[in-house]
Amino acid sequence: MDKNQRPIGVFDSGIGGLTVLGEILKILPNENFIYLGDTARVPYGTKSSKTVIAYSQSNSRFLLSKGIKLLVVACNTASAVALQSLRWDFDIPIIGVIEPGARRAVNTTNTGKVGVIGTPSTIKSNAYQKAIKNISPEIKVFSISCPLFVPLAEEGWTDDEIAELTAEKYLDPLKNLGIDVLILGCTHYPLLKSMIQNVVGKEVTLVDSAEETALEIQRTLIENHTSNGNSTSAEREFYLTDVSDTFVKIAGNFLGGNIERIHQIDLNNETY
Ligand code: DGL
């Protein structure tokens, strides 16, 4: 096999990384992908850094065992707490989602006031705050964690009254602060986008990391001369640590077609 045909590995704690994969597929239709959703251990965002680092390492080891050429950490929580350790441990290009999202927000804001919502671990890490300040120190950042958004998205409850009440309660403190950009700092949150937009109002632009991350992957492949030039081979394979009907249904809807190649994988048994 031509080395450039090796797949790109993408992982998330569950379904959220599909919001990133969806954008990557638009920009890089020729590439082969292996997606790993750690659905048996979701959520990550309420767990300690130590646990998220351990999970992220086991996810990465599995994807590397599949011969990937590049790893995408399509999870803000794992990007916030584990990216450095993954880059230290594994010798392939690794792309996270925090810096791309921060970049997009800085390029979008006019008022210089940016809101960030994410899991408790992502918000506690201040990763977005640091990434934004690195690019533009004068921007004011207001952060709030929204832990219940992840189970709502995993359950497919994205546009009912429960989701709306939850969004109202979480997002109320962000009103009247003058923010004109809100970062959806969790890859699950784009699944609740229209609900969140209704609650914050249309004058606030919602920003997520997906498209910027896809562009960064494209740049990295070009720089490393590892783009797949073979347009006939594109394959997508899905591995889940727990296969549920809900995942299959939401994933199918989200990626616009049936998700066929789904396998269940036990990451505790590293013989795979
Ligand atoms: N989708 C992930 C994120 O971007 C993790 C959500 C979770 O497992 O808590 O943070």
What's residue 91's pLDDT? 96
**Residue 72 in contact with residue 92, Cβ under 8 Å?**
no
pLDDT for residue 97 is more than 70: yes
Q: Say yes or no: CB of residue 154 within 6 Å of ligand 1.
A: no
pLDDT for residue 139 is more than 90: yes
Q: What's the CA gap between 77 and 75, in Å, rounded?
A: 5
List alpha helices for 28-126, DSSP H.
Answer: 49-65, 76-89, 98-108, 120-125
What's residue 183's pLDDT? 98
Domains recognised in the chain with CATH numbers: 3-96+211-264 (3.40.50.1860), 98-209 (3.40.50.1860)
Q: Say yes or no: CB of residue 185 within 6 Å of ligand 1.
A: no
Cβ within 8 Å of residue 223, ≥6 positions away: none
pLDDT for residue 271 is more than 80: no
Q: What's the CA gap between 122 and 186, in Å, rounded?
A: 8
Q: How many residues does the chain have?
A: 272
Q: What's the CA gap between 64 and 73, in Å, rounded?
A: 13
Q: Say yes or no: CB of residue 188 within 6 Å of ligand 1.
A: yes
SS3 142: strand
Over residues 156-212, the pLDDT tens digits come to: 899 899 999 999 999 999 998 999 999 999 999 999 999 999 999 999 999 999 999
Q: Is 186 labeled as catalytic in the residue annotation?
A: yes
Over residues 23-65, the pLDDT tens digits come to: 999 999 999 999 999 999 999 999 999 999 999 999 999 999 9
Q: What's the CA gap between 180 and 215, in Å, rounded?
A: 24
SS3 34: strand
Tokens of 86: 């993954």
What's residue 38's pLDDT? 96
CA 155 to ligand 1 center in whole angstroms: 14
Q: Say yes or no: CB of residue 109 within 6 Å of ligand 1.
A: no
Q: Which atom of ligand 1 is nearest to the CA of 185?
A: 4
pTM of the model: 0.94
CA 186 to ligand 1 center in whole angstroms: 5
